[in-house]
């Protein structure tokens, strides 16, 4: 019989997907809660979450709010809620990077790590 010694590097292993990426309510006015779940593999990885318009232009970066997220009792605009281990929520209040209200329409939120990204659509009705 033939015995082979096969080494599998971390890069060859399957990378867990971002799961449960959603927003509620959708359609929304004036704000929506974006929720997602990440496995422990992303614990020390840079995570970006941003809002894009229909033209693909980034209008708001919510990433700074993800740094050192702490649990808290009441959700505030732009705050991160750690619901349970590896489950996160963040509020988008329908404003751009300058905190000015954006118009009604379709927007996209993208969650991005070094190895993958996932995008979903949402509708703002003013």
Residue 109 token pair: 């939120």
pLDDT digits (tens, 9 = 90+) for 35-76: 888 776 666 677 889 999 999 999 999 986 654 444 443 444
Calpha distance 89→81 (Å, rounded):
5
pLDDT digits (tens, 9 = 90+) for 20-37: 899 999 999 999 999 888
Beta-bridge mates of residue 91: 33
Q: Is the pTM of this model over 0.85?
A: no
Residue 53 token pair: 């318009």
Q: Report which of 98, 114, 19, 11 is spatially closest to residue 61, judged by C-alpha positions.
A: 98
Longest dimension (CA), the chain: 70
Calpha distance 98→80 (Å, rounded):
19
Q: Which CATH number fits domain 19-124: 3.10.110.10, 2.60.40.1930, 3.40.50.2300, 3.30.300.30?
A: 2.60.40.1930
């Amino acid at each position: 019989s033939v015995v082979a010694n096969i080494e599998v590097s971390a890069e060859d292993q399957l990378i867990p997907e971002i799961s449960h990426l959603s927003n509620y309510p959708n359609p929304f006015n004036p704000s929506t809660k974006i929720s997602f779940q990440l496995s422990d593999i992303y614990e020390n990885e840079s995570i970006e979450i941003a809002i894009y318009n229909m033209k693909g232009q980034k209008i708001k970066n919510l990433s700074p709010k993800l740094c050192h997220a702490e649990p808290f009792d009441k959700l505030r605009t732009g705050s991160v809620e750690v619901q349970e281990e590896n489950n996160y929520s963040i509020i988008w209040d329908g404003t751009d990077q300058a905190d000015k209200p954006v118009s009604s329409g379709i927007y996209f939120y993208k969650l991005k790590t070094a190895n993958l990204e996932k995008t979903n659509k949402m509708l703002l009705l003013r």
